[in-house]
Amino acid sequence: MSGPLSSLTVIEFAGIGPAPFAGMLLADLGATVVRIDRPPVEPGGDPLGALLRNDSIVDRGRHSVALNLKDPRAVQAALRLVDRADIVLEGFRPGVMEKLGLGPEVCHARHPRLVYGRMTGWGQHGPLAQTAGHDINYIALSGALHAIGSADRPMPPLNLVGDYGGGGMLMAFGLLAAVLHARTSGTGQVVDAAMVDGAALLMAAQFGFLAKGHWHDQRESNFLDGGAHFYGTYACADGKHIAVGAIEPAFYRELLARCGIDDPQFEQQWERAQWPQLREKLERLFAQRTRAQWCELLEGTDACVAPVLSLGEAADHPHLRARQTLVNAAGVLQPAPAPRFGATPARLPTAAPLVGSGTRTWLARAGLCAEEIDALLREGAACARDAMPQAAD
């Protein structure tokens, strides 16, 4: 792997949501990410289905070691892997790793420079720390969900604000900050990344506007939440949509001029009382032409207008094609690594690994001899790709 993080080794304990996303970000930029998976052969399970699960973009760039962490011998093998890592990344409820014998106290006693990342929804402490939840719950508590949606109801913005923006991205940032500290001080630490904290942090600008009296705590009453006519989406004649973001006066004037709008009411851009009527007028205007016709007139100008593209359409846009923002690897359309680096460019990582495909290799690199590895495999403490059932012809 190339990339600016090629010197880092990460041990990721398999999970779902923001922790794997953080692992993907690190792997994308060149880190060696070894994921400890559960063995796919479980009572009542589907071993072949688990074995062939190789279609997750978020899981790309990993190496997979399959260990049964209910077995003390597998736990010791995991600790041998941790001994040689810069970072541990886990996303379980507080206390789970301690019960397994893999908590930060145990790991730091063996490896004082280790950065130990803990990704949860509610954080490691607080009244809700042991409570189940999902993205929608965390952003609800932070105030973010209340600010998003139509006037009559909040609308979850997929799982972008809690899971990925406020969770995975913040975790990756925190891990790298702690690695810098460890390399200068010789001391590792725990990074407690909570989605509820991250979602609140993403609302910093809105809290700032609120403090200054420039933000109303009701949806569709502000300039960024669909309340303003100059910042929102509009349906076109063909049922497709365009996005308008003409906030600054110069960009707003450009929009009006290119659309041929000379109605004096539009001069009251920042009069909130005028916004509903001005939005209705723009709705009627944009409904007169197709999305393609509006893009021909407005896209690429300082009117700040862009087509609202579907996932399938996005890959064909000339700008995204020029930057290779979305790439097709092995028939799978996916986002390319970002951001871009001039001196240490990252390349698209390998596809998600088959569970257990790296078990033998990485246990050997952790210092286990062939006899020890064979014993773990034979006795069910570990599982290797070449030791699993093969698909019938």
Residues with catalytic function: 134, 163
| Ramachandran angles phi, psi of 263, nearest 5° | -65, 120
Please, what sign has the CA dihedral across residues 222, 164, 111, 76? positive
Contacts 24+ apart (CB under 8 A), 98-104: 100/69, 100/75, 101/72, 101/75, 102/13, 102/69, 102/75, 102/78, 104/190
Sheet containing 241-245: give its strands across.
231-235, 241-245, 305-307
- 3-class SS of residue 24: helix
Give the integer Cα–Cα distance in Å for 108 and 83. 9
Give the integer Cα–Cα distance in Å for 91 and 344. 29
Region of 330 (left: φ > 0; alpha: ψ -120 to 50; beta: rest) is: left
- 3-class SS of residue 32: strand
| Amino acid at residue number 327 | V
Residues 6+ apart with CB under 8 A from 35: 12, 13, 14, 23, 59, 62, 63, 64, 65, 353
What tokens appear for 218 in the block? 């009701």
Give the integer Cα–Cα distance in Å for 33 and 8. 8
Burial of 15 (0-12, 13-18, 19+ CB in 10 A): middle
Give the integer Cα–Cα distance in Å for 22 and 154. 27
Give the integer Cα–Cα distance in Å for 47 and 392. 13
